[in-house]
Amino acid sequence: MTEVQVIARYTVKPGNEEQVHTLLRELAAAARTEPGNLAFDVCALVADPRQVVLLERYVSRAAFEDHRTTPHFKRLVLDSIVPLLESRVVELFDAAE
């Protein structure tokens, strides 16, 4: 089974940075408890906290898909974070073995 590296790039709408960063800390803590999650890091661009990168690693593509069906993903990402973003790009990479 091939591990999956996920890189999600968010641009936060002006004035929502603090709220989004708080929600992302909650999301990271919840995601790290998932059985298929290997890592979940949130990084903000030093020069512009509106630019955020999520670095996520899962044991498989199926584990990533499981992540996207969790109640915390739906509540935090889809219902709370996405409305506060200007843009969101999610890329999946097969991790080299």
- The Cα–Cα gap between 79 and 43 comes to 21
Instruction: Please report, for the domain that includes residue 9, its CATH number.
Output: 3.30.70.100
Confidence of residue 97 (pLDDT cuts 50, 70, 90): low
Report the half-sphere exposure of 44 (CA within 13 A, side-chain side).
13
Query: For 23-32, how does the pLDDT look when each residue is reduced to its tens digit (9 = 90+)?
Result: 999 999 999 9
- The Cα–Cα gap between 75 and 31 comes to 13
Query: For 6-47, how does the pLDDT look when each residue is reduced to its tens digit (9 = 90+)?
Result: 999 999 999 999 999 999 999 999 999 999 999 999 999 999
- The answer to pTM > 0.85 is yes
89 lies in which domain range?
Answer: 4-94
Domain count, the chain: 1
Q: How far is CA 89 from the centre of its chain?
A: 10
